[in-house]
Amino acid sequence: MKKTMTTLVLSTFMALVAGTAALAQRQSADDTKWITACVSDNKDEGQTAPVVLAYCTCMNNRMSNNETRSITQWEKANPAASEACGRQAKWKGR
């Protein structure tokens, strides 16, 4: 079941990135790595895969390109950005 959920989340992520030319142009391989890690970190939060992806992408876009912390680490130090991205992604329960 865990592998199926991970596969579903990653498949949804890849489909959304591939299907959105503007997003694909803005995201580097490094961005994709961090967003994928964030999606994995948040997969058990009770949100749909597109909501988690939108949240993680928003958080990644708010971070400096020189940031060394993961999105999950960075969000804890930046609650205002987390709240804003949660609203933008339509995260339920935030």
- pLDDT tens digit sequence for 36-69: 999 999 999 999 999 999 999 999 999 998 999 9
94 within a domain of the structure (yes/no): no
Q: Count how many domains the chain has.
A: 1
59 within a domain of the structure (yes/no): yes
20 within a domain of the structure (yes/no): yes
Higher per-residue confidence, 34 vs 4:
34
Residue 94 CB contacts under 8 Å (≥ 6 apart), including other chains: 82, 83, 86, 87
**DSSP structure string for 15-55:** HHHHH-HHHHHH--HHHHHHHHHHHHHTTTSS--HHHHHHH
Range of the domain at 80: 2-89
pTM: 0.72
The tens digit of pLDDT for each residue in 80-90 reads 999 999 999 99
Kindly report the number of other CB atoms within 10 A of residue 79's CB atom.
9
